[in-house]
Chain A
Amino acid sequence: GAVVSQHPSWVICKSGTSVKIECRSLDFQATTMFWYRQFPKQSLMLMATSNEGSKATYEQGVEKDKFLINHASLTLSTLTVTSAHPEDSSFYICSASRGGVPNQPQHFGDGTRLSIL
Chain B
Amino acid sequence: AQSVAQPEDQVNVAEGNPLTVKCTYSVSGNPYLFWYVQYPNRGLQFLLKYITGDNLVKGSYGFEAEFNKSQTSFHLKKPSALVSDSALYFCAVSTGGGNKLTFGTGTQLKVEL
Which residues from chain A sit less than 8 Å from chain B, CB to CB?
4, 6, 31-32, 34, 42-44, 46, 49, 91, 93, 95, 97-98, 102-111, 113
Contact = CB atoms under 8 A, between A and B. Distances in A.
Contacts, number: 59
For the residues of B in contact with A, the DSSP-based class is: loop
Contact of A43 (B34, B45, B105): B105
Contacts of A110: 42-43
B7 interface: no
B44 A108 contact: yes
A38 to B, nearest CB: 9
10 contacts: A44-B103, A93-B44, A102-B98, A103-B96, A104-B97, A104-B98, A105-B46, A106-B101, A108-B45, A111-B41
A109 B46 CA distance: 11
Contacts of B98: 31-32, 97-98, 102, 104, 106
B49 A46 contact: no
Contacts of B44: 44, 93, 95, 108
Nearest to B51: A103
Contact of B100 (A34, A105, A108, A113): A34
B91 to A, nearest CB: 10
Interface centre among B42, B98, B100 (most CB of A within 10 A): B98
Interface in B54-72: none
A71 to B, nearest CB: 14
